[in-house]
Chains A and B, each alone.
Chain A
């Protein structure tokens, strides 16, 4: 089992460019999450998908869109990147809809917007 995989690992964008971060899990989990991690701020939830076909906003959704392509894949899109989106992005998945289930994290994508 690969667990949760994310691509790319590193990315540098210019302000205004767009990109999609890819995430896939092979654990047959129902729920998937996108977080961003910034120094001194911990992890903040951007969007999540409690089950295939549903997505909901988290704490910091502005400037992002998501697609739950199927049960395995959950992508995060930046339509017009801004320097404030420089961060490390983590995808996670869990078995159930309620957060009493362990979340499994990918290795992260380090994004720099210049």
Chain B
């Protein structure tokens, strides 16, 4: 069965430090890849997506992610985080279907 794995349930980091949130998925065949962010007590909103083309994708709020087909990964990065980036981040994958499979989420906690 297709699956999405976010190994880190929580990532603590100090403000202005770089961060990487990891996402791996089960198969590279015809995938569409997404990162969503959920701020406290809100719904999810799209950070960025990879459909095709350049493997480095830039999103909102200074985030970027790289599609690595051989490693079946789509890790999210930001070179310098802010307190306001504290949120839960979800990786989601579609295998060319009408459904998204979400990972279990990574809670990013940014400390001053």
Binding site for B on A (CB under 8 A): 4, 31, 35, 40-45, 48, 50, 58, 90, 92, 97-100, 102-103, 105-108
Contacts and interface: CB of A to CB of B under 8 A. Distances in A.
Tell me whether chain A's interface is mostly helix, strand or loop, or mixed: loop
A99 B102 CA distance: 12
Interface residues of B, number: 23
A69 B6 CA distance: 36
B83 to A, nearest CB: 23
A100 B94 contact: yes
Interface of B: 6, 9, 32, 34, 41-46, 49, 51, 90, 94, 96-100, 102-105
Given A42-B90, A102-B46, A107-B42, A50 B98 contact: yes
Given A42-B90, A98-B98, 9 more contacts: A4-B43, A41-B104, A42-B6, A42-B105, A43-B102, A44-B102, A99-B32, A99-B100, A108-B43
